[in-house]
A and B are shown apart, each in its own frame.
Chain A
């Protein structure tokens, strides 16, 4: 196990409570910001705080430069063809909603999602089912909880307009076979949108190589602040996409009887933007590149392997999702037969200053379909260490010893 010193870069993680160091295992929900990100945002707020896109002061131009610089950084980071293909959003949910509503799907057109979607990539389709009469297909996983490619092909043969699936699941960290999914979708002329909220922070993503049409993700799971996200869309598709919001910055000109839309991507970014957040996202990307995806993957796997192995030795534990830690990124999700998951999370917090997450992780549909009440999710990132994992296991053993 390679120990690392990345943790010291995160002021949030350096806190103590009751003399105990903070151990943060809720990275699938949100990651804290490292010093360079915090400093970049502070610099914006203190030194060149200004409106972007409309201010002719030198501060305004500085903001524009930074925003476009970040757009290019994001484009390169995910292998997009051009920076116009990057739209800044509030979060992944907004990106998915923008595509769902902007594609102008008609009654009877079919959208396929997997059976492990975050509510962000499920509810909007259910709403469109009601509003516009689209058809929503939910593709069941195989018995081992992996993605059913044969099932997908069978559905594609019946005609699917869009395949919208999670890239890596927040339920169990499982990464879907997206290359095969895109290949199959191409064969049957379907669009593909990927919910990359749990993928982009954890492994290298190349949208061009993948051939995916849309990809949405958020900054707050990759050491950027909350309130900033990204939607990637192929330029050709963006031309035909309607905006979710319209108003200032999204038009070149307006009259009492009409308007002229801005070019892409500005037409999708109506209203003043989260400039501090965009700048923070740019710094976060630089930071992650410095850490490197090889290191991230290695660290997450070793932690996952260790935690899984140790948990298996504690009686009464049931794992959620796929079994093999290799397929689960940084996530271990489980429930105990005798102890309520919410209670377990609170005990970990109160007794050992270890932060985890309990509940249904916004994948309620999966839990309801399997009759599982809830679970506790441990999600690690590159700054977590084996020492922290050992403390987690020891705290869990102590707590579960109560029942």
Chain B
């Protein structure tokens, strides 16, 4: 699961940096389980786990043991949170492009609503679509 989490994070960071694009590629092959690591080579999962748990160990955090033991569970939670927030981001972006607000039902709650959308008031996209 950590491979999927890594892929999502690195794919986003990869938009801005070549190093992360390389890591995203590694994580992608890892997701597809197509990667055949040599015995001497650590997988991207081990490297990420090492970085996170290593950081916690350096801070003498009691979380180090927990994260080490339940790393797979933490990875799942991370992936689910990332997928859910990605879904809402994409949905918001779609509404914004289409209606000028990321929340057509309550445009005043959307920080980036256009003036026009705010002036027009609530637009129900489903209602509009039905038309």
Contact B42 A342 (CB under 8 A): yes
For B, the interface residue count at a CB cutoff of 8 angstroms equals: 20
Contact A359 B57 (CB under 8 A): no
Contact A346 B50 (CB under 8 A): yes
Q: Which residue of A lies closest to B58 (CB)?
A: A351
Nearest Cβ on chain A to B64's Cβ, whole angstroms? 6
Q: A401 — which chain B residues lie within 8 A by C-beta?
A: 65
Counting residue pairs across A and B whose Cβ atoms lie within 8 Å, the total is: 64
How far, in whole Å, are A20 and B43 apart by their CA atoms in the complex?
A: 25
Contact A402 B65 (CB under 8 A): yes
How far, in whole Å, are A399 and B43 apart by their CA atoms in the complex?
A: 19
Which residues in window 49-99 of B have CB below 8 A to A?
49-51, 53-55, 57-58, 64-65, 68-69
Contact B40 A350 (CB under 8 A): no
Contact B40 A359 (CB under 8 A): yes
How far, in whole Å, are A399 and B54 apart by their CA atoms in the complex?
A: 9
**SS class, residues of chain B in contact with chain A:** helix
Q: B35 — which chain A residues lie within 8 A by C-beta?
A: none
Q: B69 — which chain A residues lie within 8 A by C-beta?
A: 402
Contact A347 B39 (CB under 8 A): no
- Choose one: A20, A342, A350, A402; the contact of B55 (CB below 8 Å): A350
Judge if B41 is at the interface, Cβ distance under 8 Å: yes
How far, in whole Å, are A373 and B39 apart by their CA atoms in the complex?
A: 8
Contact A358 B40 (CB under 8 A): yes
Q: B105 — which chain A residues lie within 8 A by C-beta?
A: none
Contact A351:B42 (CB < 8 A) given known A343-B49, A346-B47: no
Nearest Cβ on chain A to B73's Cβ, whole angstroms? 15
How far, in whole Å, are A399 and B53 apart by their CA atoms in the complex?
A: 9
Judge if A360 is at the interface, Cβ distance under 8 Å: yes
Judge if A5 is at the interface, Cβ distance under 8 Å: no
Q: B46 — which chain A residues lie within 8 A by C-beta?
A: 340, 342-343, 346
Contact A399:B57 (CB < 8 A) given known A346-B47, A346-B50: yes
Q: B57 — which chain A residues lie within 8 A by C-beta?
A: 347, 350-352, 398-399
Contact B54 A351 (CB under 8 A): yes
Other 6 A-B pairs with CB < 8 A, given A351-B55, A398-B57: A343-B42, A346-B50, A347-B53, A349-B50, A399-B57, A402-B64
A-B contact pairs, 25 of them (CB 8 A): A18-B58, A343-B42, A345-B42, A346-B42, A346-B46, A346-B50, A346-B51, A346-B54, A349-B50, A350-B50, A350-B57, A351-B54, A351-B55, A351-B57, A351-B58, A352-B58, A358-B40, A359-B38, A359-B39, A360-B39, A362-B40, A374-B39, A398-B57, A402-B53, A402-B69
- Residues of B whose CB lies within 8 Å of any CB of A are 38-43, 46-47, 49-51, 53-55, 57-58, 64-65, 68-69
